[in-house]
Structure 1
């Protein structure tokens, strides 16, 4: 029996101990964010199709030259071609943006059906879905912020001066796919989580409110804060792109760092860390 216990202890030491890393509120809000952001993205693209152009400034229209992004279609040699313009540069995006093929038919449409909710053109339903999950996002973010302030979790996301000094090394380790599994977040995780949770998501909420005429009537200063409704819309779209990029990188890191361990952490809270090193160097043997 003693030998069995010793063998199990040795195996555990080589694998590293399990620690309780993710609190219940963190796990619940994580999955609510994932659900909300998924439907916000698809319904937001449905809404964007009603005016697939982005501007900088208070106003927009034919009399203004302030377009920074546009999705459209042209007919060349009798054939429909999708065109996307970004800062004056035009790209052929046939099949993806502007002109898509659905049910065997080519049609003028900003996005294919699988990228929008609902999959067909329906601005009214898209707005209902978008506003519903937007409020879920607001409530979830508020609950997470309050809980994180009370339990001290938010301090774990603020990079310290020591963290910043380790940034080049941690970045190099990530590029080499060398991951250090510890109880604390590394500096890249801290920076990305802090930027998304404390800057990007609040800005998404504020710019979304700035596009509402009802909110404009109550708080007209928000239009001045973001440089007008059209600029707020452009910032809202840019924030969406940052969130999509973050999610893609986040999923990639989960896959390469060990999906079972990472998923166990965000589902049960328990996370297996690297073997502990002691003065005798047991971890190296």
Structure 2
């Protein structure tokens, strides 16, 4: 007997491997971000090239005296902004990012590096598990690669317009990723995340000695550090947009699917 049109049916959406690697990535990336900002605070400036040119940073966070008080300043290219309390000077001390945004909260380059390196290797191993399962199990081909016609300008424009109006797929159409999701996920898992790993390795003296061509691939050791930082910023932006889209589309169903693997579908719903 078929279910009533209004009855919800729970169907499988995410495999166990996808769910486990997703939540492992959430934890690893959070720790990597916070510990990375702790490491950045040891020298809160970025450069292009192979060496640090201290008087010509591309980005810098510092403090300056203004009368009898100190103010935090952030320099981006030729522009300088006052960012007291957030960047450059916070908690009555000179520091790039504030204590609440770093791991650990206290000033410690050594502890920040320990947290960062441990979770960096966890992140790499987790990525290898995900990619192996995606290739062997067909997740990459079945769920992430755009199909014929999905990359046409008309189709992409229609999806972008629907997203702008917060109109999302319903019913069985919601079981798969739309083209914008596929492109965004591919850009992150096949672009940004590997770039983070490679630029991170490019900053390691041991890797520099064994693979001197790796930092040169990015224009030098300091350029690799800058690209590493910018990639982290883009990943944060992706996460923010991702969470907003989950909230707009229905967080309960999306979270259930990523925790239990089951997605609720109402037969007869229009896509």
When the two structures are superposed, what TM-score results if normalisation uses the length of structure 2? 0.93
**What do you get for the CA RMSD once the two structures are aligned?**
1.7
Q: Distance in 1 between matches of 2:122 and 2:266?
A: 36
Paired residue for 1:74? 64
Query: Where does residue 154 of structure 1 map in the other structure?
Result: 140
- Distance of 1:33 and 1:99 partners within structure 2: 31
Partner of 2:175: 183
The aligned counterpart of 1:119 is 105
1:263-278 map, 5 Å: 263-273=255-265, 275-276=267-268
How many Å separate the matches in 2 of 1:15 and 1:90? 58
Q: Confirm whether residue 243 of structure 1 aligns to residue 243 of structure 2.
A: no
- For the residue of structure 2 that corresponds to 1:177, the secondary structure is coil
| Structure 2 CA distance for partners of 1:15 and 1:204, relative to 1, 3 Å | farther
CA–CA distance in 2 between the matches of 1:169 and 1:19?
27
Query: 1:127-154: per-residue Cα shift (whole Å, max 9, x none)?
Result: 0000000001000000000000001101
Within 5 Å, which residues of 2 pair with 1:192-211?
192-211=184-203
Per-residue Cα deviation, 1:94-137 (whole angstroms, up to 9, x for no partner): 11001112xxxx22121211100000100000000000000010
Are 2:62 and 2:72, in contact at CA under 8 Å, matched by a contact in 1? yes
Give the number of equivalent residue pairs.
265
Give the whole-Å Cα distance in 1 for the aligned partners of 2:241 and 2:266: 22
* CA spacing shift, 1:15–1:241, aligned 2, 3 Å: farther
Judge conservation of contact 2:47–2:53 (CA < 8 Å) in 1. no
In structure 2, runs of 5+ residues without a counterpart are: none
Is 1:144 aligned with 2:144? no
Structure 1 gap ranges (5+): 278-282
| Corresponding residue to 1:108 among 76, 86, 94 | 94
Residues 180, 274 of structure 1: 8 Å contact kept: no
Aligned to 1:212: 204
> Structure 1 length as normaliser, TM-score?
0.89
Instruction: Report the counterpart of residue 280 of structure 1 in structure 2.
Output: none
How many angstroms apart in 2 are the aligned matches of 1:130 and 1:226? 21
Deviation (angstroms), 1:270: 1.1
For 2:62 and 2:39, the matched residues in 1 are separated by 15
